[in-house]
Amino acid sequence: MLETTKKERSDIVATLVTAGVVGAIALVVSVIRWLETFTLDGVSVAVPFAGVPADFAPADGLPVTTVRVTEGEVVAEGVNALSTVSLGASIILGAAVWIAVIALFGALGLRFLRGRFFDPSNPRLLDAAAWTMLGGALAVYFLETLGRNGVLAAAGLADFLPSSWAVTASFVPVWIAAMVIGLISVAFRRGIRLQRDTEGLV
């Protein structure tokens, strides 16, 4: 077991504190998303548009300017139960995924704080974080798509197909991060093997 230096302990503690703050932010954002989705006027979802022309007046009395809308909120009443449940589940699952990933990295930080840098459990924690991010993002993507389609249908826009790239763009960084974490896990395993080989030569 390696002893952590004072600088390392400070950095790890700062990371753990940051993780706690990010976890709290994730909860607050999820509550805000819930309130913005399920409104008194109906179920609301963000929908990407391919530059739809719209008239816009910056303020009363000012001339109207034509702008191109690339994203807007579609609100509809009478959304089917499956789509409504899917949207609610996507918000809850999204929060659960981020909290789970933060908890896994928090556990890894605590192990580092105790000097357990090359411990066999560390790659397993990284693998769990990577798969949680990958699978969780895919599930949220599916649920959001199902919910969005239901809202569009209820709003009379069943034939409108949002840009697939605009819909998936926000998920791409999460999937890339999951792959990077998986590669870091591989590097940890190699480091553990090298440490064992080195200790065997001593």
Report the 3 state secondary structure along the chain. CCCCCHHHHHHHHHHHHHHHHHHHHHHHHHHHHHHHHEECCEEEEEEEEEEEEEEECCCCCCCCEEEEEEEEEEEECCCCHHHHHHHHHHHHHHHHHHHHHHHHHHHHHHHHHCCCCCCCHHHHHHHHHHHHHHHHHHHHHHHHHHHHHHHHHHCCCCCCCCCHHHHHHHHHHHHHHHHHHHHHHHHHHHHHHHHHHHHHHC
pLDDT beneath 70: ranges in the chain: 1-3, 197, 199-202
Is 179 within a domain? yes
Computed over every residue of the chain, the mean pLDDT equals 88
Is 28 within a domain? yes
Is 82 within a domain? yes
Confirm if 100 and 132 have CB atoms less than 8 A apart: yes
Is 118 within a domain? yes
| CA-wise closest residue to 91 among 41, 127, 130, 45 | 45
| Cβ burial 187-199 (10 Å sphere, 16+ → b, else e) | ebbeebeeeeeee
| Count of domains for the chain | 1
Place of tokens 């239901």: 150
pLDDT number for residue 43: 95
pLDDT number for residue 200: 58
Residue 41: domain span: 6-47+78-201
Is 133 within a domain? yes
Is 116 within a domain? yes
Is 72 within a domain? no
Is 54 within a domain? no
pLDDT number for residue 199: 63
* Beta strand pairing call for 65-76 and 38-39: unpaired
